[in-house]
Amino acid sequence: MIFGELLSLNDIKDPYVIEHIIWDIEPKDLMEPRCRTKSEGIEIKEPIKGYVFYIDTMDARPTLFMMRHTAMGYAETIAQINEISQGVLDEAVKENKEKAYFGMYPINKEVEEWLKRELGVL
C-alpha cells in the first residue's frame, strides 16, 4: 500500500477524489479481465479509473472501504469509513447478497446517499 495507513472519511473529502468517484460499479466489474476472446475476436474493456466504494465482509462485521483504481489496472484500498451505521451496512449486504464477489459487496442506494451527504455531493 502506498499510504502508511488507511484514510478516513475526512481525509477523502477532497474535491479531486469526490469528482472522480464512480458510483455505479460493482466489485465483480473491477475484477473481470480487461481482455476476452469472443467468437467475433478479442474484446477489450475500457479501463476503470477513479474511486470506488465497496463493503467487505472478511472480518466479523461488514466494513465500508474506498478503492482507488487506475487506468493501468492497478487497484488499492485507500480508505476505511467507520462513521456509517453498522445497521445500514448490514442492510446493504443483505440487499446485495446475490452480487457478492469474494466477500465484497457493492453499496446500495442508502449507503450511496449517506456518502453523498457526508461528502457534500447532495
pLDDT in tens, 4-25: 789 999 999 999 999 999 999 9
Report yes or no on 5 lying in a domain: no
pTM: predicted TM-score of the whole model, two decimal places = 0.87
Work out the average pLDDT over 41-46. Answer: 82
Give the domain extent around 77.
Answer: 10-119
- Other beta carbons within 10 Å of 97: 9
Contact (CB, 8 A) for 67 and 80: no
Check pLDDT > 60 for residue 2: no
Contact (CB, 8 A) for 99 and 26: yes
Work out the average pLDDT over 102-106. Answer: 94
Check pLDDT > 70 for residue 3: no
**Nearest C-alpha neighbor of 83 from the set 10, 1, 3:** 10
Report yes or no on 102 lying in a domain: yes
* Angstrom distances, CA of residue 77 to CA of 14, 43, 104: 16, 27, 12
Report yes or no on 15 lying in a domain: yes
Confidence of residue 96 (pLDDT cuts 50, 70, 90): very high
Report yes or no on 99 lying in a domain: yes
Count of domains for the chain: 1
Check pLDDT > 70 for residue 73: yes
Report yes or no on 46 lying in a domain: yes
Helix or strand or coil: residue 67? Answer: strand
**Nearest C-alpha neighbor of 100 from the set 59, 69, 54:** 54
pLDDT attached to residue 16: 95
Report yes or no on 2 lying in a domain: no
